[in-house]
Amino acid sequence: MSELLKTIKGRKSVRTFDGKPLSTEHRAQLEEIARSITNPFGVPVRFVLLDAKEHGLSSPVLSGDTLYAAGIVPKGPHAEEAYGYAFEKLVLCAWSLGIGTTWIGGTMKRELFERAAGLAEGEMMPCVTPLGYPAKNRSLRETLMRKGVGADSRLPAEKLFFDGHWDAPLAPEKQAAMADLIEMVRWAPSAVNKQPWRIIVTDQGCHFYEKKDKGFVSDKTGDLQRIDVGIALCHFVMGLEEQGRQPEVVTSDPGLPVPEGVEYVATVRVPE
């Protein structure tokens, strides 16, 4: 198992923290990482670290939280997928330092967070995450939440990856050749664990789509499920890069027939 796959599969959402602030070293590392993160869509995503006590910030699903990271993006084309891609990079980097996170889009006083983050006209702040050291034991509330959304289960590869056209499961030999990449995508986090990404593999590339569910779009957050696709895309691209390959992400719809409620997002091409 690759190091990246170990990180992706090992990372869990953390809602119960030990209450200790991040070390000066860890905070400085995260700030440097946040400044360096880019995404293949060229959309600027900026991060702001917010002290919970200073700004009066909290979430009813958390305990022991002392610090948050807010991500801000200008509204416009590809904003959501760029956001998901960039935010997940920060989340994975934090986990590699032993810092717990969890994506929060609804269970917070949004106006307080937006004001503290300095949200401007024409921008949106779909999600925030706490940043802290995990407590030794999860709270009962956190355990029940994880069980409620099936946080430790994922759809099989056959439901997510297709061979040439929709509903044709990826051939076993192709699955074997992409085994680590498929697992990285399968274990991407998503809102209430809906896993809305679908990928059609063709000779032209791997085409990422969003399988839409109702109730995930608002003016404040944009399309949360499109953000989820950005997260899965981040895992896929990082996995290819770990293999020493040079993937190219483009937004050129191949025009493949797909069911109603499915939207094209992006294509990953890998030069031979």
Report the percent of the chain where pLDDT is more than 90: 89
Last residue of a domain, one of 141, 176, 210: 141
> Is 132 found in the same domain as 197?
no
Burial class (CB in 10 A: 0-12, 13-18, 19+), 24: exposed
Can you tell me which residue has the tokens 């702040």? 125
Specify the 3-state DSSP secondary structure of 4.
helix
> Is 14 found in the same domain as 127?
yes
> Is 137 found in the same domain as 8?
yes
**Residue 248: CA count within 13 A, CB half-sphere:** 9
Distance CA(29)–CA(4), nearest Å, equals: 19
pLDDT (tens digit per residue) in 58-73: 999 999 999 999 999 9
> Is 118 found in the same domain as 235?
no
Give a yes or no: residue 161 inside a domain: yes
Question: For position 35, what pLDDT does the model report?
Answer: 97
> Is 243 found in the same domain as 218?
yes
Alpha-carbon distance values, 11 to 39, 62, 134, 165 (Å): 21, 17, 11, 32
> Is 17 found in the same domain as 134?
yes
134 strand-pairing partners: 17
Question: For position 271, what pLDDT does the model report?
Answer: 78
pLDDT band at residue 53, thresholds of 50, 70 and 90? very high
> Is 76 found in the same domain as 45?
yes
In this structure, what token pair is assigned to residue 103?
A: 């994506």
The average pLDDT across 146-166 equals 81
Is 139 a residue whose pLDDT tops 70?
Answer: no
Give a yes or no: residue 90 inside a domain: yes
Distance CA(269)–CA(267), nearest Å, equals: 6
204 strand-pairing partners: none
Question: For position 152, what pLDDT does the model report?
Answer: 65
Is 184 a residue whose pLDDT tops 90?
Answer: yes
Distance CA(120)–CA(112), nearest Å, equals: 14
Last residue of a domain, one of 141, 176, 202: 141
Give a yes or no: residue 91 inside a domain: yes
Give the CATH number of the domain where residue 50 resides. 3.40.109.10
Specify the 3-state DSSP secondary structure of 250.
strand
H/E/C letters for each residue in 49-84? Answer: EEEHHHHCCCCCCCECCCEEEEEEEECCCCHHHHHH
The average pLDDT across 119-138 equals 94
Instruction: Spell out the residues 6+ positions from residue 35 whose beta carbon is closer than 8 angstroms to its own.
Output: 47
Closest of 248, 254, 268 to residue 181, by C-alpha? 268
Give a yes or no: residue 147 inside a domain: no
> Is 127 found in the same domain as 52?
yes
Distance CA(16)–CA(140), nearest Å, equals: 10
> Is 81 found in the same domain as 30?
yes
Please give the residue range of the domain that contains residue 171: 157-269
**Domains identified in the chain, total number:** 2
> Is 255 found in the same domain as 189?
yes
The average pLDDT across 159-186 equals 95
Distance CA(111)–CA(126), nearest Å, equals: 12
Fill in the DSSP letter of residue 255.
-
> Is 164 found in the same domain as 251?
yes
Is 145 a residue whose pLDDT tops 80?
Answer: no
